[in-house]
Amino acid sequence: MKQVHLRLRERPRSYTITIQSGLLEDLPALMAKKWRGCALFIVTDENVEKLYGRNLLLRCIDVGLNASLLFFPAGERSKNFKTIHALQTALLENRVRRDSLIIALGGGVVGDVAGFVAATILRGVKYIHVPTTLLAQVDSSIGGKVGIDHPLGKNLIGAFHQPSAVYVDPLVLKTLPAMEFRNGLSEIVKIAAALDGRLFSSLEKNAPSLSRENASQLMKLIYRAVELKAAIVAKDELESGLRSVLNVGHTIGHALEAATSYKLKHGEAVSIGIAIESRLAQRLGLLSHHERTRILATLTALKLPIRVPPLKRMSKFFTVLSADKKSLGSTIRFSMLAGIGRTAIDVRVSTDHIAQLFDNSND
Ligand SMILES: NC(=O)c1ccc[n+]([C@@H]2O[C@H](COP(=O)([O-])OP(=O)(O)OC[C@H]3O[C@@H](n4cnc5c(N)ncnc54)[C@H](O)[C@@H]3O)[C@@H](O)[C@H]2O)c1
Ligand SMILES: [Zn+2]
């Protein structure tokens, strides 16, 4: 078992991320130790409900816990107010109280939605993350950013609400579709390229052989990515500066997701975002040609996309880019790679400059 302690300035909000193969099996016993007497609400999506949710509910009931299960259709399209409202109604009908606990069991969508419901219902109840995608295990379950999308852009409605604990079980990745596994790898490439040259070199070396079957290799990767993210969140919980290093690839990535009406998955969009932003970084003299080549080669070896798909609505891309939380009028603020393992924050680029990049983005 491995543990990472995320120590926040406000001590009571600190929490532990536990990573252990088979942890999901032990969860009911852990819950019974810590949360007996509270009403537990497992929130998940329709896929994860069938794979793990139902079983978790039964095992929680078996150990005498007062647990119920709520679920919604899987996918980014559920990250909206309709889902939030339906969950809030179900919780209120089932007599949620201030001392109830929400268990977010699923990928990044479940985590963001369940976390936002936890942040808002009765002005905030406690919740824990049990992430079941690689992306959620290494990224979205850590740091307390929760929220939903708006037609004007991704993640524009939300809150900071830290979980009380995160339980990561790499064994659940065995059922994850290969494409979803790759999506998670793109966030690991991001965090490595942004913060840890050694981790990047190891990814680069192992990319062709990386698989879910290699449990020890996977455990090491997840642990290091979690450690890196937790260290950043500990220093800048509310993203007033340093935490924005984690936005590498995301400024372009978020706009691509919205411009393709979410046909592009988050991880794919981030991968293309890293590729396009690396091109921008090279033009700005922040990244060398060799470094950019290494980044593109690693993404490609991991079977991640690096080219922008044909966009029917380029105008939508720029509308979303300008609605980004990081934009200032016609200037977009980027967190940009400044070498492998180094990031420059608050790099300002005009939308005209970005448009030029797209004219020949598939060079
Ligand atoms: N809050 C944050 O800090 C943060 C960070 C990164 C990404 N995100 C958000 O995360 C979301 C993307 O998350 P995601 O990629 O996990 O997508 P997702 O939650 O949609 O999960 C992907 C698919 O995998 C299925 N699934 C989940 N676990 C499974 C398992 N173990 N076996 C089989 N199928 C499984 C889901 O049902 C879904 O169909 C985006 O909305 C993104 O904005 C948030
Ligand atoms: Zn992301």
Structure confidence at residue 176 (pLDDT): 96
Structure confidence at residue 50 (pLDDT): 98
Whether 362 has a pLDDT exceeding 60, the answer reads no
**pLDDT grade for 354, boundaries at 50, 70 and 90:** confident
Please give the Cα distance from 290 to 7 (Å, whole number).
37
Give whole-number Cα distances, 319 to 195, 265, 351, in Å.
30, 19, 10
Q: What 3-state class would DSSP assign to 240?
A: coil
Of 50, 135, 261, best ligand 1 pocket probe by most atoms within 8 Å of the beta carbon? 135
Structure confidence at residue 190 (pLDDT): 98
Across 159-166, average pLDDT: 98
Please give the Cα distance from 70 to 49 (Å, whole number).
9
Structure confidence at residue 321 (pLDDT): 84
Whether 358 has a pLDDT exceeding 80, the answer reads no
Q: For 289-346, how does the pLDDT look when each residue is reduced to its tens digit (9 = 90+)?
A: 999 999 999 999 999 999 998 887 777 888 888 777 666 667 899 999 999 999 999 9
Of 133, 173, 186, 268, best ligand 1 pocket probe by most atoms within 8 Å of the beta carbon? 133
pTM, two decimals, is: 0.94
Residue 316 Rama label (left phi>0; alpha psi -120 to 50; beta): alpha
Structure confidence at residue 327 (pLDDT): 64
Structure confidence at residue 45 (pLDDT): 98
| Closest protein CA for atom 10 of ligand 1 | 108
| Closest protein CA for atom 21 of ligand 1 | 107
CA of 250 to the centre of ligand 2 (A): 6
Structure confidence at residue 310 (pLDDT): 82
Q: Which of 62-66, 71-75, 104-108, 318-322 has the lowest mean pLDDT?
A: 318-322
CA of 308 to the centre of ligand 1 (A): 21
Of the listed ligands, the closest to the CA of 108 is 1
Q: For 234-288, how does the pLDDT look when each residue is reduced to its tens digit (9 = 90+)?
A: 999 998 889 999 999 999 999 999 889 889 999 999 999 999 999 999 999 999 9
* Backbone dihedral angles phi then psi of residue 113, each to the nearest 5 degrees: -70, -50
Q: What is the Cα Rg of the chain in Å?
A: 20
Question: Please, what is the Cα angle at 361 between 356 and 363, to 5 degrees?
Answer: 120
**pLDDT grade for 356, boundaries at 50, 70 and 90:** confident
CA of 272 to the centre of ligand 1 (A): 18
> Known catalytic residues?
123, 145, 187, 229, 239, 243, 247, 250, 254, 266
CA of 26 to the centre of ligand 1 (A): 23
Q: How does the average pLDDT of the chain come out, rounded?
A: 94
